[in-house]
Amino acid sequence: MARHEMPAEDWLLEVSNLACGYGGESVVSDISFALSRGDIGCLLGPSGCGKSTILRALAGFLPINSGEIRLQSRSISLPGRTLAPEKRRIGMVFQDYALFPHMTIAENVGFGLTNLEKAERRKKVDELLDVVHLQDLANNYPHELSGGQQQRVALARALAPEPTLILLDEPFSNLDADLRRRLSLDVRDILKKLGISAILVTHDQQEAFAMCDQVAVLKSGALQQWDVPYNLYHEPANRFVARFVGQGGFIPGKALGPDAIESELGLIQGNRAYKWQPGTLVDVLIRPDDIVYDPSSDLRPKVIEKTFAGTSTLYRFRCSEDTEFEALFRSHLDFHLGEHVPVRVEADHLIAFERTA
């Protein structure tokens, strides 16, 4: 069954035409998306696009100006009616961990469980420390833990009251790249094992793709596309998403038919049909992995930039002033600046937009 045909009760979170902001002004508007139970969603976009603002509205810290937020089919935010944060059953994990420094790890995790008997609380804390693999550090203090360990404590503390939804606000941004990648996969595993839904805020596309089932790409307070990572990459809704998600750039071309474009890189054909008239001027998206090295090719663009990245090298090629593009080759294919290299386009997914100016 397609997602849009799902009955309303299967959505965990529904955001409809949301507008909210500060001092009566909206900094985000017309935001609509829905998350099904157990899924991890993401708000992805450049700095200042409104990710944290939407997260604050979901948490109940910010009233909304129009639209509605529903959690488990229950309205939690309407203009003039905001269910208090503590009544939403939503947990939060922040970038700076926000652990209590004078409490042990076990006490931090058990902080929100005051309604439980002592023995029951201890059992629950042990279970959660087990889930985040920190049983051995129960009696340590936060400053004795690494950043990654502290973030797992923060997650365990947020999970303790058994929330319906967890909000993760740039939770890995204080960590180095390697730990970031490992911890994001760890957190995904933990949430999936427990069947807990989450919304992650990040401006790191790799993190969004590795961790999330659905991603919202935002620009200047407006939702550009809400989709699975694969579609964002292969079927971006507009130029902004095409550029923001993944690497690559546009080259000029002319439509020959619904699925064929003539360009300086030759005829580019794909599996996606457009409604263009033959002769329409378009911009075609070329990703670095769309270009392959082919010694028999007559197309021989010039290397104008080269970035060595260990197992691969990113090249920037120029055919003419209007047509430049990038290609990623295994690093044993070593070309020098100014060299003319035989290449060919091998793109399954033809992504192009009609030229507007």
CA distance 58 to 28: 13
Residue 150: both structure tokens together: 């502290």
Nearest to 197 by CA among 57, 52, 37, 59: 37
Rule CB under 6 A: say whether 61 interacts with ligand ATP: no
Give the number of other CB atoms < 10 A from CB of residue 286. 26
Rule CB under 6 A: say whether 197 interacts with ligand ATP: no
Rule CB under 6 A: say whether 48 interacts with ligand ATP: yes
CB of 29 to ligand ATP, least distance (A): 12
When binding is defined by CB under 6 A, the residue of 22, 61, 100, 308 that contacts ligand ATP is 22
Q: How would you label 220-247 residue by residue, b for 16+ Cβ within 10 Å and e otherwise? A: ebebbbbbebebbbeebeeebbbebbbe
Rule CB under 6 A: say whether 47 interacts with ligand ATP: yes
CB of 266 to ligand ATP, least distance (A): 40
CB of 50 to ligand ATP, least distance (A): 4
CB of 21 to ligand ATP, least distance (A): 6
When binding is defined by CB under 6 A, the residue of 16, 27, 89, 339 that contacts ligand ATP is 27
Rule CB under 6 A: say whether 253 interacts with ligand ATP: no
3-state secondary structure of 261: strand
> Of the listed pieces 41-49, 82-90, 113-121, 189-197, which binds ligand ATP according to CB under 6 A?
41-49
CA distance 254 to 355: 10
Contact 193, 200 (CB under 8 A): no
When binding is defined by CB under 6 A, the residue of 32, 36, 52, 280 that contacts ligand ATP is 52
3-state helix, strand, coil in the chain (%, to 5): 25, 35, 40
CA distance 136 to 144: 12
Rule CB under 6 A: say whether 53 interacts with ligand ATP: yes
When binding is defined by CB under 6 A, the residue of 203, 208, 274, 326 that contacts ligand ATP is 203
Which backbone phi and psi does 148 adopt, to 5 degrees?
A: -65, -40
**What burial class does residue 290 get, using C-beta atoms within 10 Å of its C-beta: 0-12 exposed, 13-18 middle, 19+ buried?**
buried
> Of the listed pieces 47-55, 137-145, 235-243, 293-301, which binds ligand ATP according to CB under 6 A?
47-55
58/128 with CB nearer ligand ATP:
58
When binding is defined by CB under 6 A, the residue of 19, 49, 90, 343 that contacts ligand ATP is 49
User: What number of chain residues touch ligand ATP (CB under 6 A)?
Assistant: 11
Rule CB under 6 A: say whether 90 interacts with ligand ATP: no
Contact 225, 31 (CB under 8 A): no
Residues contributing to the site for ligand ATP (CB under 6 A): 22, 27, 45, 47-53, 203
